[in-house]
Structure 1
């Protein structure tokens, strides 16, 4: 049962405050554009103000780390990834992650504000394909092409004198688009998928609606009504994009958020349940155990 209203909102707000979210800071960008690119370092905006530590946090923008040296261990949503020289780590908005406290981060960091690239490019590059792995291992020829493309983005980013601001931003978007299409190709290969745009925007809209509303709405029919689709259309679109049912997609998102809060906060189980849409702690515990095979308390104990 989903609780709506002030009590649930307060519970979610309290839970969210335990995992700090870092917003994109346009003022830290050259000319205030919606992206940043430069060398990795503890004083850089890409570090989210958290420094290179194991303190978990989430971001509301894209971070792509192009590693020049390795190995580097980085944790994204309960999975630890080890990146080597030439690898790329792609952390998407909303994902909870933490830096290694000991491994040196050497290479180039690129951050991108949602909305900086047009919708057609967002679709073509799978910018919000959370089903794809964060860590990418380009081949040797791909690495060379990516390095050249990244270098072009850096040049355009820093060149603020040869073009007026509006043209500078447009040229930068084009350069970034070329780079992201290359990264997306590697990402598609890593996911054993074809490099192509999503067949339509139905799943994209559904995914965005779920991300916005999963803490209060677990109903497939409600999402279908909100988006103006039939339930059958929504089922087809979600299956085509993810292989899951819409209900399975929603439940997976709820479970992920519950895991984040159980692992990274000390909130009581009941408050975590309320934060993800369950008015009754017993119902939340039953739901969590059905999907994970362990109780919320048991999952939290395993994280110690």
Structure 2
């Protein structure tokens, strides 16, 4: 059974349509499989400088960019990363990002559709660990192993002649799983949390429910009831996975979405508050200021 639902973004928000979301295009994949791998090159969406690169946007799939040259400046959720040769950028579904309009992107781009990998792989690789940094800097040995694994994955992806489609897809899933485990190891090191237990299914289900419902539901008890857990069970699972309380996790997700809309759209503050679950504009402004130290208008002004 493959993972479902964990990557559903807030693109269903009426307000979020002002930040364009790009879906995974299976039609652009070899044989229509749920992944793509190929060079960033000088043209197309992963080239930088053209098309997507000039606009802040979301994606509803995973993108991993493996750089062979640099430096390149790439922004993910309000942080600009300077990426060099040998570095990796892992952009997760729903994150708002933008390409440099001047830097040249050289290397390999790997994309994967939510649901393509099995649930066990999703858990083992931390596919939706948004607390981990997008920028990864493998050491020399890790980079060599990743490069070799990526080359093998690309060969399997392009080889459509030796196996029936169903077997070809299965081989790709296994190859991609092995590859992602290598990348996830580097990601865990970057986050300095190798010793932290992996999130269990309780947290995974909670995180998915929050991603789907944070625009209307800010209640820990409501999520616990929806998922069939006691509040205490939910508190233990979320704290073990993130170090936060469930309420803190929900609030951070709401604040992130509010920041995205304030920075990247011209929507009035009241409409942004409504888009993240506040019927009253004053309550939204108070909530935002409590969590950020500035008013929504003040935050928007800082981004200008």
Taking structure 2 as the reference length, what is the TM-score of the superposition? 0.93
Q: Does 1:277 align with 2:277?
A: yes
CA distance in 2 between partners of 1:146 and 1:186 (Å): 10
Q: CA 1:105–1:195 in structure 2 vs 1: closer, same or farther (change >3 Å)?
A: farther
CA RMSD of aligned residues (A): 1.7
Q: Does 1:148 align with 2:160?
A: no
Q: CA deviation at 1:51?
A: 2.1
Answer yes or no: is the 8 Å Cα contact 2:197–2:241 preserved in 1.
no
Structure 1 regions of 5+ residues with no counterpart? Answer: 1-11
Q: CA 1:195–1:177 in structure 2 vs 1: closer, same or farther (change >3 Å)?
A: farther
Q: CA deviation at 1:16?
A: 1.1
Answer yes or no: is the 8 Å Cα contact 2:77–2:260 preserved in 1.
yes
CA-to-aligned-CA distance 1:186-245 (integer Å, 9 cap, x gap): 000000011787252000000000000000000000000000000000000000000000
- After superposition, where does 1:7-86 map in structure 2 within 5 Å? 13-41=13-41, 43-44=43-44, 51=51, 53-86=53-86
**2:243 aligned residue:** 243
**1:6 aligned residue:** none
CA-to-aligned-CA distance 1:51-91 (integer Å, 9 cap, x gap): 25331000000000000001000000000001100000000
CA distance in 1 between partners of 2:168 and 2:196 (Å): 28
**1:296 aligned residue:** 296
Q: CA 1:52–1:18 in structure 2 vs 1: closer, same or farther (change >3 Å)?
A: closer
**2:92 aligned residue:** 92
**1:111 aligned residue:** 111
Q: CA 1:165–1:196 in structure 2 vs 1: closer, same or farther (change >3 Å)?
A: farther
| Larger RCO, structures 1/2 (Cα 8 Å, 6+ apart) | 1
Q: CA 1:67–1:44 in structure 2 vs 1: closer, same or farther (change >3 Å)?
A: same
CA-to-aligned-CA distance 1:238-271 (integer Å, 9 cap, x gap): 0000000000000000000000000000000000
The runs of at least 4 aligned residues of structure 1 exceeding 6 Å deviation read none
CA distance in 2 between partners of 1:289 and 1:132 (Å): 25
CA-to-aligned-CA distance 1:4-59 (integer Å, 9 cap, x gap): xxxxxxxx7441111000000101000000000000046435579x7253310000
Taking structure 1 as the reference length, what is the TM-score of the superposition? 0.93
**2:169 aligned residue:** 169
Structure 2 regions of 5+ residues with no counterpart? Answer: 1-11
Query: Which secondary structure state, in structure 2, belongs to the residue aligned with residue 53 of structure 1?
Result: helix
CA-to-aligned-CA distance 1:267-299 (integer Å, 9 cap, x gap): 000000000000000000000000000000000
Answer yes or no: is the 8 Å Cα contact 2:34–2:112 preserved in 1.
yes
Of the structure 1 ranges 188-197 and 86-95, higher mean CA displacement relative to structure 2 is found in 188-197
Answer yes or no: is the 8 Å Cα contact 2:197–2:240 preserved in 1.
no
CA distance in 2 between partners of 1:255 and 1:41 (Å): 36
Answer yes or no: is the 8 Å Cα contact 2:47–2:105 preserved in 1.
no
